[in-house]
C-alpha cells in the first residue's frame, strides 16, 4: 500500500506545474541560444534575443518577488519578537485580590492575552484583527469601570490615582486608534499595546500594588 501511495503521489507531483514553472527561464535561455546557433541570420538573432531577454526578465522578476517576500517575512518575525519574548503569561494564585468579579476579569484578560498571542505567533492569517480588537477593548473598558467602582468602595485613597492610570492607558489606546484611521499605525501595533502595556504591565503588575494594600 505504501508503495502504491508513493507511486500515486509521484504521478500527482509530475502533473503539478511547479517543475515547469521553475524551468521556464532556463528553457527560454536554451531556446534563445539554440535559435542563435541554428539560424545564424537576422531573424535568428532577433528571435534568439527575444528568448534571452525573456529569460532575464522572468528570472529578475522572480528574484525581486522572492526577495520582497523574504523581507516581509523577516519584518513580521521582527515585529513579533516582543510578543514571542512575552510568551505565555502564567496565572498565579498570588494575582488574586479576593474580589470574585475582579479576579475573574483579571484571569479572563490574561487567558485572552495568551490566546491572542498564540494565534498571532502560530498563524496570523487566521486572526480577525478587527473583531479581536473590538472585543478586547470592550472587555478592558468594562474591567476598568468595575475595578474603579471596587476601589472607590474598598480603597478610596487609591481610587483617583488608579482611575487616572486607567484613563492614561485609554488615552494612549484612542490615540493609536486615530493613528490607525490615519494609516500611521497598524492594528497589530494597537493589539500588542493592549497585550503588553494594558494586560501584562498593568493587570499583572500595577494592579498588584493596590492588591497588597487591600491585604494590609
Ligand atoms: Fe485590573
Ligand atoms: Fe487597574
C-alpha cell at 41: 541570420
Share of the chain above pLDDT 90, in %: 52
Rounded to an integer, what distance in angstroms lies between the CA atom of residue 114 and that of residue 86?
10
Q: Ligand 2 mean position to 191 CA, how many Å?
A: 18
pLDDT at 1 over 80: no
Q: What is the pLDDT of residues 100-135, one digit of tens each?
A: 999 999 999 999 999 998 888 887 767 888 999 999
The pLDDT value given to residue 8: 65
Q: Ligand 2 mean position to 76 CA, how many Å?
A: 31
Q: Ligand 2 mean position to 2 CA, how many Å?
A: 59
The pLDDT value given to residue 195: 92
Q: Ligand 2 mean position to 94 CA, how many Å?
A: 16
Q: Ligand 2 mean position to 90 CA, how many Å?
A: 18
Rounded to an integer, what distance in angstroms lies between the CA atom of residue 98 and that of residue 215?
9
C-alpha cell at 108: 479572563
Instruction: Return the H-helix or E-strand segment holding 99.
Output: none
* Ligand number, closest to the Cα atom of 161: 2
**Does the predicted TM-score (pTM) go above 0.95?**
no
Q: Which residues surround ligand 2, an ion (CB under 5 A)?
A: 147, 207
Closest CA to 165 of 185, 190, 140: 140
Q: Ligand 1 mean position to 203 CA, how many Å?
A: 5
Q: Ligand 2 mean position to 207 CA, how many Å?
A: 5
The pLDDT value given to residue 4: 67
Please state which of the ranges 52-56, 118-122, 169-173 shows the lowest mean pLDDT. 118-122
The pLDDT value given to residue 143: 97
Please, what is the average pLDDT of the chain? 87
Give the residue extent of every domain in the chain.
2-72, 80-215
Q: Ligand 2 mean position to 136 CA, how many Å?
A: 15
Q: What is the pLDDT of residues 130-149, one digit of tens each?
A: 999 999 999 999 999 999 99
Rounded to an integer, what distance in angstroms lies between the CA atom of residue 20 and that of residue 150?
68
Instruction: Return the H-helix or E-strand segment holding 184.
Output: none
| CATH number for the domain running over 80-215 | 1.20.120.50
The pLDDT value given to residue 166: 97
Rounded to an integer, what distance in angstroms lies between the CA atom of residue 17 and that of residue 96?
59
Closest CA to 203 of 97, 85, 83, 88: 97
Q: Which residue has the cell 470574585?
A: 100
pLDDT at 51 over 70: yes
Question: Within the chain, how many helices (H) and strands (E) appear?
Answer: 9, 0
C-alpha cell at 78: 521582527
Rounded to an integer, what distance in angstroms lies between the CA atom of residue 178 and that of residue 184?
8
* Ligand number, closest to the Cα atom of 210: 2
Amino acid at each position: 500500500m505504501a508503495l502504491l501511495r508513493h507511486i500515486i503521489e509521484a504521478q500527482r507531483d509530475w502533473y503539478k506545474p511547479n517543475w515547469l514553472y521553475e524551468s521556464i527561464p532556463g528553457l527560454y535561455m536554451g531556446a534563445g541560444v539554440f535559435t542563435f546557433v541554428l539560424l545564424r541570420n537576422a531573424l535568428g538573432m532577433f528571435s534568439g534575443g527575444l528568448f534571452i531577454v525573456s529569460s532575464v526578465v522572468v528570472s529578475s522578476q522572480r528574484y525581486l518577488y522572492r526577495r520582497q517576500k523574504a523581507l516581509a517575512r523577516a519584518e513580521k518575525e521582527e515585529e513579533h519578537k516582543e510578543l514571542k519574548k512575552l510568551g505565555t503569561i502564567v496565572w498565579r494564585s498570588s494575582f488574586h485580590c479576593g474580589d470574585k468579579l475582579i479576579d475573574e476579569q483579571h484571569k479572563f484578560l490574561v487567558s485572552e492575552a495568551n490566546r491572542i498571542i498564540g494565534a498571532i505567533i502560530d498563524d496570523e492569517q487566521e486572526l480577525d484583527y478587527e473583531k479581536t480588537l473590538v472585543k478586547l477593548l470592550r472587555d478592558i473598558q468594562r474591567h476598568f469601570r468595575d475595578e474603579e467602582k471596587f476601589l472607590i468602595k474598598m480603597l478610596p485613597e487609591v481610587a483617583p490615582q488608579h482611575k487616572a492610570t486607567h484613563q492614561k492607558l485609554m488615552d494612549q489606546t484612542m490615540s493609536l486608534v486615530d493613528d490607525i484611521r490615519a494609516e500611521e499605525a497598524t492594528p497589530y501595533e494597537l493589539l500588542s499595546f493592549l497585550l503588553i502595556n494594558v494586560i501584562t504591565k498593568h493587570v499583572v503588575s500595577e494592579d498588584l500594588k493596590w492588591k497588597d494594600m487591600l491585604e494590609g
